Amino acid sequence: MPVSFDSGSAWDFRQSAVVSESRDQPAKKNKQSKGDDPTEQEPSASSSSSATRTCPEGHALRLFRTPHDEFFCELCGDDQYLPKGAMLFGCRECDWDACATHTHEDVQKREVLREKQMNEPKTKGREIASKEGDWKMLRGADKYKNEYMYLRHSGSKVVLELCSHSSGICTFRAGVGEQPRSCSEAGEIAPFQLTLSSVVKRLDGGEGKGIAKKIELGNWKVISLDDGAAVVLHDMQFLKTSRHKEGTAPESLLTSHGLEIHLTGSGELVWIAPETQDDLALIVCAHQLPQTSTRDAAVKWLGVEGGVDDGNYSNTEEEEEDDDEDEEEEDEAK
Mean pLDDT of the chain: 76
- Identify which of 5-9, 187-191, 251-255, 258-262 has the greatest average pLDDT: 258-262
Q: Does 221 have pLDDT greater than 90?
A: yes
Is the pLDDT reported for residue 98 higher than 80? Answer: yes
Instruction: Please write down the HEC assignment for all residues of the chain.
Output: CCCCCCCCCECCHHHCCCCCCCCCCCCCCCCCCCCCCHHHCCCCCCCCCCCECECCCCCECEEEECCCCCCECCCCCCCCECCCCCEEEEECCCCEEECHHHECHHHHHHHHHHHHHHHCCCCCCCCCCCCCCCEEEEEEECCCCCEEEEEEECCCCEEEEEECCCCCCEEEEECCCCCCEEECCCCCEEECCCCCHHHHHHHHCCCCEECCCEEEECCEEEEECHHHCEEEEECCCCECCCCCCCECCCHHHCCCCCCEEEECCCCCEEEECCCCCCCCEEEECCCCCCEEECHHHHHHHHCCCCCCCCCCCCCCHHHHHHHHHHHHHHHHHC
Res 250: pLDDT: 60
pLDDT digits (tens, 9 = 90+) for 34-76: 334 444 455 555 555 578 999 999 999 999 888 778 889 999 9
pLDDT confidence tier of residue 257, bands split at 50, 70 and 90: confident
Ranked by mean pLDDT, which of 32-41, 216-225, 275-284 comes out on top?
Answer: 216-225
89-106: average pLDDT:
92
Look at residue 119 in the predicted model and tell me its pLDDT. 65
pLDDT band at residue 31, thresholds of 50, 70 and 90? very low
Say what the pLDDT of residue 271 is: 96
pLDDT-derived band at 18, boundaries 50, 70, 90:
very low
pLDDT band of 33, cuts 50, 70, 90:
very low
